[in-house]
Structure formats: C-alpha cells, structure tokens
Amino acid sequence: MLEFIALPAFQDNYIWLILDSKRQEAAVVDPGDALPVIAWLGRHPEYQLRHILVTHHHRDHTGGLATLKAATDCRIWGPAHGSIASLDRRLNDDDEITVLGKTLQVIAVPGHTLDHIAFYCDDHEDSWLLSGDTLFAGGCGRLFEGTAVQMHASLERLKALPDSTRVYCAHEYTQANLRFARAVEPANNDIKVRMEVVDDLRSAGRITLPSSIGLEKRTNPFMRAQEPDVVAAAAQRQDASVNPGAETLAVIRAWKDQF
C-alpha cells in the first residue's frame, strides 16, 4: 500500500507526497511551492521523485513545477484544457495513467476552474481520490471560472464513487467548512459529531484529512444539494423557492462566499 504524507505549504495548502517504499519512488500532487518537496527529498535521498500530478492551473498548485522538473527530471501530468506550460502529458476525461504501479483514472471536474481534473485509484479495497480544489472536506471550491451547474455535475460524479474512497484535497479548510455546514443543516447530527472531532484535531495542531466519500455524503452541504433540509435552507436564504441540485448549490455557494 502506498503512503500519503501531507507537506504544508503557504497558509493552508497541502502538497500530497505519495510514497512507494518498495520501489523507493515518490509522486507529488499540486506542488505550488517546490521547497517543501525538495526539503523532504533531501532528508530522504533514497527516494526518487518520478511523477507530479496537477489538478488545475492556479499558482498555489503549480508554482513549484519548473524547479522540481529541473531538480529531478520527473514527469509532470496535468489537465489538457488549460494554460500549464510545463506538462509532459496533457490529460483528458477518462484517461488512465500509471503512477507508482497504480492505475489512476482521470475525472474532469470543472467548476472551481474550467480545466480542473481529479485522479481516482480503485485498487481493490484501497480506493482513493486526489480532488484538488473541487471537493474539500465539508465543502467545495469557489466558482472562479465554472458554473454551479458544472460544479454540481462534478460533485455528482465524485459522489458516485465508493463510500470507502479516501479523499485527499488540497487545503485545510475543514473546520470553517463544517461551521458553514452546521448553519445550513443545524439538525444534522453527523455534522455535529464531525465538528467535535475536527475541533479536537485542530486544537492539537493535527491535520483533518483524508476524508471519505461516505463522510462527505453525510456532512457536506454541497454534496447534499438534493436533500430536503439543504434545499429548504437555500430557499430560506433566497427568500424564494429553489430547485434541488444545481440551483440549491448556487445559492449555498454564494452564501458560503459571504459566511
């Protein structure tokens, strides 16, 4: 089984370092800053960086690409439909790639950006998702380029993955996201319990990730945009009737932007 290590970057980013201890090879995800990766590799010279996976073009996910490429000669894979210049391979929806001996499916998930992709590995009982800034623990990304319709469709695709799928997102936003989720669904006991766990983790300075698809389906309002309580909260916020799905997501995303 591969090992996942979160390398903190900037204020709240995580650069996921994925390790294959047998091969002594590594991959990294969305290295907005090369220094945390280079520092880790310097402390573990037995590992070779083989791959970089990029979910979208934002600078806090791509800023370290050129430095890491020059330092390690790794291969960089990212979205075909974007402005990232340093890619060795441009990936489209439903492409499959092999990273550290594992087959990863590319899933197009526009909404946060138009070029956003996620990487999904279904390795028998060990399934995991690299969701970038599309699906967060307890939330979803802002709609900088895409629409609520696109984001809803993207989250529905991710929602269809097995409940046991581990979710590795790119930011430590869980605590703030759950405070908003609680405002949307104050009667949701799953959110209440999760908030208590997350508050304890953050008080101890610990990471709140990974999440899971099953947990997100129970506690993430953006994956619950068809649930009656979430639709009702959106309608109350809008002071008008709101349709389940993308319309509800649009209302609560705008609400979250001002929360």
Active site residues: 56, 58, 60-61, 112, 133, 171
DSSP letter at 209 equals: -
d(CA 36, CA 64): 10
d(CA 79, CA 201): 33
d(CA 151, CA 91): 19
Residues in CB range of 243: below 8 A, 6 or more apart: 231
Q: Which two tokens stand for residue 131?
A: 């969701």
d(CA 97, CA 259): 39
Bond preceding residue 210 cis, omega within 30 of 0: yes
H or E element at residue 181 = helix 174-184
E strands present in the chain: 3-9, 13-20, 25-29, 48-53, 75-79, 89-91, 96-99, 102-108, 117-123, 126-132, 135-136, 139-140, 166-169, 211-212
- The answer to whether 64 touches 31, Cβ cutoff 8 Å, is yes
